[in-house]
Structures are given as structure tokens and as C-alpha cells.
Structure 1
């Protein structure tokens, strides 16, 4: 309710500039068909899906610390709170600042997925013994920063990929449908993997899947960046 009041007070809808002054600002079926034909929108949705799937698997690190590294329940709970709040806050801030500094959200996402890939596979290389617990925790923090920095920028590329303000809501809807689709099957799949592969084996499979999602996300970001650069050049001609 407070957020709603603040939006009414401070967020104003810019008037849409159209060639026809009588054209309605509402989104028509024609506008929807226009948006679904834009490859860059679908690429953004798939990029979100890769990151969101990796973020979901990242949540399984809490039981991983308890089962594999014998971390106490209280310490694991504290780490879970740190992941949900502190890492999200810091990662979002870093992501936004770096994207602004690079003057490109897409370019930052490319580096974000590289970091995700590196730290996903590092879990597989860290020896499983109690003395290495803080090394794993350090990897967990760095991995989380890259994951959540990208997560904070899901819809930021809309302006960069030249989607008009009138169509931005429709584009966001399509990106959301595609991007959040892992919610439908992700937890069930991860739970099944852990049930059928008890112990470190199951978690290693999840880390490999996280790494694969990160690699696929990186490839999609590179494709999006090249596609967008070509489209930008075509607008200038």
C-alpha cells in the first residue's frame, strides 16, 4: 500500500509520442503480434530463464553446507538470511553501478554469466572436508554476487534493445513468461536429482547444471549483443 501511494506521488506516465494524435495508447493485438516477432525479446526471456534457473539451484546450497560440510543449523540459517538479503542488496547495487559504468546492461550481463560459470564449477574442485568450509563459503558469496547482480537487471535491457515505451509492458510480460518458466519444473527436477543421487553426487549434478545454465546464458547474451548491434546499425542507416 505504501509503495502504491509512492508510485502515485512520484512516478508519472510519459505521454506516448505517436504520429496519429488520435491513436489509442492501449496495447492492441497488433502490438502484441509485433512484439512476439522481435527475436531480441525472446532472447531476453531465455537469458532470464538461464539466470533464474541458476538462482533456484543456488538455494540448495543451504542444505549442502549442512549435509556435506556438517555446518551447524544456526550457522546455515544465518548464511541463508545473508544470501536472501545482504547478497541480494549488494549484488543488485554492484550490477546497477557496473551496468551504468559500462553504459550497457547487455555487456555487463556477459561478464555476469562468465562469473557465474567460473564459480559454479569451482564447487566441484574444492575438496570435501571440514577444513575447506570457509573456502566453499567464499565461493558461495562470490557466486551469489554474480548471480544476483544479473537477476537485478532482468528488465533493464528493454530500452537498450529498442523497444518503444508503448510496447515495453508487453515485452516485459513475454520476458516474464519465458524467464520465470523454470519455476514450474525447477524445484521438482532438483529434488528428484537429490533423491535419486544422495550425498555429494546429487549436489555435484546440481552444480554442473548451474554451470551449464550459465554457459547457455552467456552464449545467449553474446547472440543478443550481436543481434542488437546489427539492429542499431540498421536504424542509423
Structure 2
């Protein structure tokens, strides 16, 4: 919701960019801790039960959000979501996807996963923005705080209902396979972590995820950039952010299909290059109020960012990580790779509040460009390490 409705979210909750960033950071800190035990849990227990429970807990937290809690409570709520969406959900999701795709179609499976997630997110974003626009008065300049709050509360309830519905779909569609049905070679062992830690490609994969996720978190600034730099109203700004979300499904699916026919690291390197160039262009301040050029840059960089989200776990095949280590690798890589959940929100909030208007946004996109260049280097090193080491973990 903050990605689509950031200006409205800040206004309704009466918080600054930094306070919202601290809530994101609370999520990130808890998530970082939860990633490590989530891996062994995914290797031991049924994905159906883990994921359904996580989704229901997340929906329950959404009901708390409808009360429009103060900034302190908001941080605790995001911390709770860090636990509900990661400990029981994340590694189970990745393992189930990798198992479903198999060795031949692993890239396609991850592309379809992120493309499908993107399609649902884009549809939900479109519906929520349309609902918000319909509930707001025609004259947006004269809207009252009470009218904005009432409309936004209905948007929150929409997100809650969809999350609860997905919990039901997960329960009835994902096979329930208990740990007891797995052979000894598939069970998690404490030595697994030591095997994983000894592989340079695992640490490089974590760095790739860090750099790609910084770019993804940077999309949180799109709606506020459209509002403060391009001069859009809050509804048009939300639609602009929604545009980038519609790029996600085709970009992720296409990247997954190409990855099964081409080296994942090459494709990842090209994506980082695209993000670096696009972000540097925005950071230069040369776009000014040029909507058309901004839209072109937004589409290109969004496609690259979402393509990487469909690739950075499919890269495990190129690194020859066996299926039985998937949960452990995902837990370790995610604990490091999703560190931007901890620092990117406060950093963006600090930059935007310290330098209001265009300068703050330019600094945000300059940061994204720098991390993208680091991601290019990590992808190249990953490819080099793979060619130098033949045996898998």
C-alpha cells in the first residue's frame, strides 16, 4: 500500500517519510532474524500449512491497520508482519516453486512465480486505486481529512480480504506433504549450513539479492516523485506507481523463460546495467517535468527490476545447489539479501526529508544506481566462480 499510496499513507497516518521508513526497518529487522529458521522449517514441514497460517496472521494484522494506529504502534505492526510473512512463508514458497519446476524448468517456474505475484499485485493495485478514486470527492483540492481517511480505510479492508482469500486458496491447492514422508537424503541436517557457508556462490547470490532489492525498494519513491517533482495529484501519482507494477508479470515470466535457454548471470548483469543507467538519468535531474521521458525510464527500469526478481533464486541452478539444500540456502541468502528491508526505508526517508523536493529524489536514485553497479560486478563474479568449480554443494 505505501508503494501505491505513499502520499496518501503519509497524510492519513500523520507521519513523515522517516517514520514510515522506521516502520519498514522494524519489518526488516524481524524478517532478517526470521529468514534463518525459516529455511530448516521449509525443509521439514508442509508448505501448505506453513503458508496458510502465515497468510491468515498477516490478514489479521491488516485489521489492526484499519484503526489507523500511531507511529509507534505502526512499527510494532510491521515487526509482526516481518514474522508472519517470513518465518512461516518465504522459504516454503521458494522450495515449493523449485520442486515444481524441476531442473529443466526452474527458471520458468520462478519467472511464473514472480510474474504471477506481479499480476495479482497489479490487479489489486488497479482495483484499489479505482476504489479509492471512486470514494474520493470529485474535487480533490477540497477533500477533507475525514473523507480521505474513510476512503483509505476501505482500501485497507480490500487488502485484508484478498490476503485471507489467498490463505484459503493455498490450503486447497498446495499438496500437503509431511516431513515424515521424505527420505533421509531430503531431511535437513545441521551440517547443511556448513556446506552452504563454504560456497562462494552463496555469498555472491546474497550480494546480488541485496543490490536487486535496493532497486526494488526504490520503486517505493515513484508515487511521491510523481507528486513532488512532476506535479501530479495523489490519484494520478498512485496510477503512475501502478504502471510499474503492470510491468512485473511479463518481465518476470519472459526473464524466467529466457533464463532456461541462456545463462542467468548474463541476463542478471544486463538487468543491473539497465537499472543503473535509468536511475542515473533520473538522479542527474535532467528529466525535470518531462512526463513522457520519465514514463519511458520507469517502464525500462521496472522491467529490469522485476526480471531480476524472477531470476535471483533461479540462479541456484547455475550455481549447482542441490534441491535438498534449498531451504537452507534460501534462509541464509535471504537473511543477508533482504537487508534493504532494514536500511533502505530509513535511508530514503532521511534523504527525502533532509532535502525536500527534487534534490532528495535525485539522491535516492543515485543510491540505486550505485548498488546496481555493485550488482553487475557480483553477477560477473558469480559466473566466474561457477566456471572455476565443477562439483555441486
- Structure-1-length-normalised TM-score: 0.86
2:269 counterpart residue number: 110
Asked if structure 1 preserves the Cα contact closer than 8 Å seen for 2:185 and 2:324, the reply is no
How far residue 59 of structure 1 moved from its aligned partner, in angstroms, is: 1.7
2:170 counterpart residue number: 3
1:122 is aligned to 2:278:
no
State how 1:72-151 maps to structure 2 within 5 Å: 72-84=233-245, 86-102=246-262, 104-125=263-284, 127-130=286-289, 132-151=290-309
Asked if structure 1 preserves the Cα contact closer than 8 Å seen for 2:217 and 2:344, the reply is yes
Q: 2:185, 2:293 → 1: CA distance? A: 58
Asked if structure 1 preserves the Cα contact closer than 8 Å seen for 2:205 and 2:333, the reply is yes
Q: 1:149, 1:4 → 2: CA distance? A: 28
Q: Provide the aligned length of Structure 1 versus Structure 2.
A: 222
Q: 1:163, 1:140 → 2: CA distance? A: 34
The 3 A distance-change label for structure 1 pair 100 and 24 is closer
Q: 2:325, 2:206 → 1: CA distance? A: 15
| Structure 2: gaps of 5 or more residues | 1-167
How far residue 200 of structure 1 moved from its aligned partner, in angstroms, is: 1.1
Q: 2:333, 2:209 → 1: CA distance? A: 7
1:45 is aligned to 2:206:
yes
More divergent stretch after superposition (151-160 vs 136-145)? 151-160
Equivalent position SS for 1:155 = coil
How far residue 112 of structure 1 moved from its aligned partner, in angstroms, is: 0.9
1:169 counterpart residue number: 327
Equivalent position SS for 1:177 = helix
For residues 49-97 of structure 1, the C-alpha deviation after alignment (integer angstroms, 9 at most, x for no partner) is 111011111220211111111123222111222223x121122122112
1:225 counterpart residue number: 383
Q: 1:153, 1:128 → 2: CA distance? A: 30
The 3 A distance-change label for structure 1 pair 129 and 171 is closer
Q: 2:301, 2:233 → 1: CA distance? A: 22
Equivalent position SS for 2:260 = helix
The 3 A distance-change label for structure 1 pair 29 and 87 is same
Q: 1:116, 1:147 → 2: CA distance? A: 7
Asked if structure 1 preserves the Cα contact closer than 8 Å seen for 2:202 and 2:329, the reply is yes
Q: 1:196, 1:58 → 2: CA distance? A: 19
The 3 A distance-change label for structure 1 pair 139 and 5 is same
Root-mean-square deviation (CA, aligned residues, Å) is 2.1
Asked if structure 1 preserves the Cα contact closer than 8 Å seen for 2:275 and 2:369, the reply is yes
For residues 19-71 of structure 1, the C-alpha deviation after alignment (integer angstroms, 9 at most, x for no partner) is xxxx4532111111111111111110110011101111122021111111112
| Structure 1: gaps of 5 or more residues | 17-22
The 3 A distance-change label for structure 1 pair 176 and 4 is farther
- Structure-2-length-normalised TM-score: 0.53
